[in-house]
Chain A
Amino acid sequence: MGCSFYICSGFYATLQERFGMSTTSFKLFTFSVFLSLVGTSNLLGQHGVHGADSLHNAAIAAEHGATDAVHADDAHGAATEAEADFDAAALIMHHIADSHEFHAWGEGEKGFTLPLPVILWTDNGLVSFLSSAFHHDDAGKHVVEQKGQRFVKVHDKIYYANEGADDHGAYVTHGAEHAIENRQPLDFSITKNVFSLLMSAFFLLLLFIPAARSYGRSGGVPKGLAGFLEPLVLFVRDDIARPNIGEHRYAKFMPYLLTAFFFIWINNLIGLIPIFPFSANLTGNIAVTFTLAFFTLIITNVSANKGYWKHIFLPHVPLWLYPIMVPVEIIGILSKPFALMIRLFANISAGHIIILSLVSLIFIFKSVAISPVSVAFVLFMNFIELLVAALQAYIFTLLSALFIGLAHVEEEAHH
């Protein structure tokens, strides 16, 4: 698949002159053709679930790097077994959820993935290994032995394995409603999301520290990277922090607001790029948005003044309304960051689900004729998601600044 791209670029200039198209429209055309070809090759390469004997072959193929995996895939692509029905919902949920590996292409045991380190705090101490030790098994059938303990992975969660396998060959016990009853070690693995978080944090540091330093060297004049970042920083200061928090107090909260704004924006954008190292859905993970909203909650309430707490616990209403007003106000303290958490999580996850669903259309209809339509829709949705990425970062920061500003209540004279 990669070689066709190079051939295309070789023919670029001549084909362009031949058809007399403008550069941009020609690029769009070849790009959509390329995407349709990728769609068909994926369709041809799809297999059903294999038995245990091909596990070994797939494991060797996956561990030997790109070229070997392509050969293994091509060899099997021609001789596909009966395809399992395409489960769009499962695929989509798998792709927006966290994972112990970066999935590049292929499916099940024949897939090519980049394994990530698994770090577990077990009864016997710290255990770490690469997630390729599980050999693409997600059903609890492959046991990994480390430090005298046995682990299996089911639906991307790691459990202590049972001594014997059940009738499906899995080393876990299923309880009511398919819930797994095995114990779990504490999972501190570098999963996709952790990798993306560290990478985006590192990238933000790489971006901002040199920019900040350059101000000293150039005597306060923004040059280069600082010149690029300054309008964004000033935007956060003048349109978000100053109007909502007030002239006298805003400077203390600028670091948090800037961090939230750029962190959320960068991670939203990273989630939209489908290639390693970018494809992690970090801000669509409710634990991450919970943490961000929790920071807002803490900062709002720690920096609040007496007037704020008076309004909550001693509101200016008749005494008989207190049993209603005080609980409502207390719920209000918690519901505002809760809304922040849900808003960011739902917007980003919903965007990813929509894009994945539109791409899955090709596989649901099992026809290559759908791909121009699907690709056009996906392109359109990606543009909207670009807007949503920046907008959700802005909304989160704006509402955080608003809550911080509202937490400082000046006592007016009319009471």
Chain B
Amino acid sequence: MITGIAAIGAGLAVIGAGLGIGRIGGSAMDAIARQPEAAGKIQTNMIVAAALVEGAALFAVVVSLLVA
């Protein structure tokens, strides 16, 4: 049963990551639409921010793996 709850916890964490990265992507799209010539810089920073948010989600995955 603990393994099941750990799996649910990991899934919930991924919801947070999905929302976060989705928002980052959305803002990046808006910014590129406003200023197409800055697209390269915006894309780089978007990837960096996405990796950091992903890191937070993977914290939760690691904890779930430890529990189960």
A345-367 contacts to B, CB under 8 A, are 345-347, 350
Chain B residues with a Cβ closer than 8 Å to the other chain, count: 10
Chain A residues with a Cβ closer than 8 Å to the other chain, count: 12
B55→A342 contact, CB < 8 A: yes
Tell me the minimal C-beta distance from A396 to chain B in angstroms: 10
List of B residues within 8 angstroms of A398 by Cβ: 48
| Segment at the A interface, from B20-28, B32-40, B57-65 | B57-65
| Chain A CB within 8 A of B52 CB | yes
A343→B48 contact, CB < 8 A: no
List of B residues within 8 angstroms of A345 by Cβ: 62
A346→B62 contact, CB < 8 A: yes
List of B residues within 8 angstroms of A339 by Cβ: 55, 59
| Chain B CB within 8 A of A392 CB | yes
List of A residues within 8 angstroms of B59 by Cβ: 339, 342-343, 346
B58→A350 contact, CB < 8 A: yes
List of B residues within 8 angstroms of A394 by Cβ: 48
Contact flags B44-57 to A (C-beta < 8 A → 1, else 0): 00011001101100
Majority secondary structure of chain A interface residues (helix, strand, loop or mixed): helix
A343→B58 contact, CB < 8 A: yes
A391→B55 contact, CB < 8 A: no
Choice from A342, A391, A392, A395 contacting B62 with Cβ under 8 Å: A342
Tell me the minimal C-beta distance from A284 to chain B in angstroms: 11
List of B residues within 8 angstroms of A391 by Cβ: 47, 51
A309-367 contacts to B, CB under 8 A, are 339, 342-343, 345-347, 350
List of B residues within 8 angstroms of A395 by Cβ: 48, 51-52, 55
- Name the residue on B nearest A345 (C-beta): B62
Number of A-B contacts (CB under 8 A): 32
Tell me the minimal C-beta distance from A328 to chain B in angstroms: 19
B51→A392 contact, CB < 8 A: yes
Q: Considering the chains assembled together, what is the distance between the CA atoms of A395 and B45 in angstroms? A: 11
Tell me the minimal C-beta distance from A244 to chain B in angstroms: 12
List of A residues within 8 angstroms of B58 by Cβ: 342-343, 346-347, 350
Q: Considering the chains assembled together, what is the distance between the CA atoms of A101 and B36 in angstroms? A: 52
Q: Considering the chains assembled together, what is the distance between the CA atoms of A350 and B48 in angstroms? A: 18
List of A residues within 8 angstroms of B48 by Cβ: 394-395, 398
A347→B55 contact, CB < 8 A: yes
Using a CB–CB cutoff of 8 Å, the interface residues on chain A facing chain B are: 339, 342-343, 345-347, 350, 391-392, 394-395, 398
**Seed contacts A343-B52, A346-B58, A347-B51; 8 additional CB < 8 Å A-B pairs:** A339-B55, A339-B59, A342-B58, A343-B51, A343-B58, A346-B62, A392-B51, A395-B55
Interface pairs (15), CB distance under 8 Å: A339-B55, A339-B59, A342-B55, A343-B51, A346-B55, A346-B59, A346-B61, A347-B51, A347-B54, A347-B55, A347-B58, A350-B61, A391-B51, A395-B51, A398-B48
